[in-house]
Amino acid sequence: MDSKMRRTVILAGVVALLAIIAVVVFTNLNTIRKKWNRITRAKSVETETAVVPDETDLSAFMQDETFFDAEKNAYDSLENKGQTLDLLVTSVEKDLRIKIVNTLGTPVMGQDFYVNVNDVPYEDTDRDGMIYIGNMEAGDYYVSMQPVQGYSVANTKIKVTVKNQVDYQVIDDISYLIKSEDEVDAAIEDIGVNDAQTNADGTERTDVVINEESKFGIDVSKWNKEIDWVKAKAAGVDYAIIRCGYRGASTGALVEDPYFAQNIQGATEAGVKIGMYFFTQATNEVEAVEEASMAIMLCDKYRLTYPVFIDTEGAGGSGRADGLDKDTRTKVCEAFCETIENAGFTGGVYASKNWLTRNVDAAKLDKYVVWLAEYKATPTYEGNFQIWQYTSNGAVDGIEGRVDMNISLLTNN
């Protein structure tokens, strides 16, 4: 082969090799580019210089208005942890009731909280998540919360109108005042003297008393313990007036009867008609509104056929309300019943004959349903009444021990 031919063959080989290399490079171009990008990003980490590849799409982040909002992100993070705080503010009469709650509506306790009322600071001194301010002038106030470390607090002011007098309206949120019996000393809080029993003359009947114009019922509380409501219904119980709670005779705490929920549920399922009562130790109208608000909150999801009664009687002389004068006690009963009726239910008053005669102005209570307790063969009370509790020594199938028995003369029940 001459030199010219040799050069031609070599050139052709070089061209072919270059063509092969070009095909290989083109085929693996994406892989090479990715490796180059990884190398570039690695170098950017080493030099702490942020490098964003050209192909990165930022449109999704740019459409999120809060992506670069550090305060909003911090708020959302605290909210997810239940660490955002809100205020619930109400007024009954010349007062403010402020509750500091988390996102679940639960009072936050154990923290040092401060609120401003028209820029005047108030402290949650007992760290129970609630602040009560009394003796306020009627008018509009603006309530806000001071910052709290570790919590997100809304930077807003809540407007609330302080009332000059009680208007007998249900308090929107009374749950924060209600305690379970496990939280109090029931031995000194849940006490009372059955005045009707004290003045019984031995002529009372203890069997079921009923006629064509009346209906037989019972009233129950934790003292009756477990009840077989199906058996009670079969034994002739048409209705039951169930205690929902009481105010402590010593501290004044609002306490739910520990058997209330299962009693009202069991009676309802058995087809027994329902009424409710609350044992009062209110010393003024404001406390009576609280008691009525608690009763309404507890019965709100049930259908009541019978009234919601305030049970007014003594606590053996040691109760916080035992020393009330007749006028104040009457106003307590009226405030309770008016609040119940303004909520769309029927209000009523339970008391013994002696109590109605001596300790309240019964004439002012005649507009409500009166439930008389008098343990005699025939009632001797000369005032008006619609339900008569004629014994506390009755016996009903499904209930262990003695039970209170009643005759109702109400025509629409």
Residues 251-287: tens digit of each pLDDT = 999 999 999 999 999 999 999 999 999 999 999 999 9
Please name which of 176, 105, 117, 109 lies closest in space to residue 148, comparing C-alpha atoms. 109
The mean pLDDT of the chain is 84
- Top CATH class, 175-408: alpha beta
Q: Using an 8 Å Cβ cutoff, are 189 and 256 in contact?
A: no
| pTM of the complete model | 0.76
What pLDDT does 175 receive? 87
Measured distance CA(94)–CA(92) in Å, rounded: 7
CA 186 to each of CA 254, 280, 320: distance values in angstroms, whole numbers, following the listed order: 12, 15, 15
Measured distance CA(99)–CA(27) in Å, rounded: 70
Measured distance CA(267)–CA(122) in Å, rounded: 46
**Are 82-162 and 175-408 in the same CATH fold?**
no
Residues 56-84: tens digit of each pLDDT = 444 443 444 444 444 444 444 444 455 88
Q: Give the residue extent of every domain in the chain.
A: 3-56, 82-162, 175-408
List CB contacts of 118: < 8 A, sequence separation 6 or more. 141, 142
Measured distance CA(98)–CA(133) in Å, rounded: 8
User: What's the mean pLDDT in 322-329?
Assistant: 97
Count of C-beta atoms within a 10 Å radius of residue 165: 11
- Single-letter residue type at 92: V
Run of H or E residues at 261:
helix 260-270
Lookup: tokens for 291: 């008691």
CATH superfamily of this structure's domain 82-162: Immunoglobulins (2.60.40.10)
User: What's the mean pLDDT in 331-360?
Assistant: 97
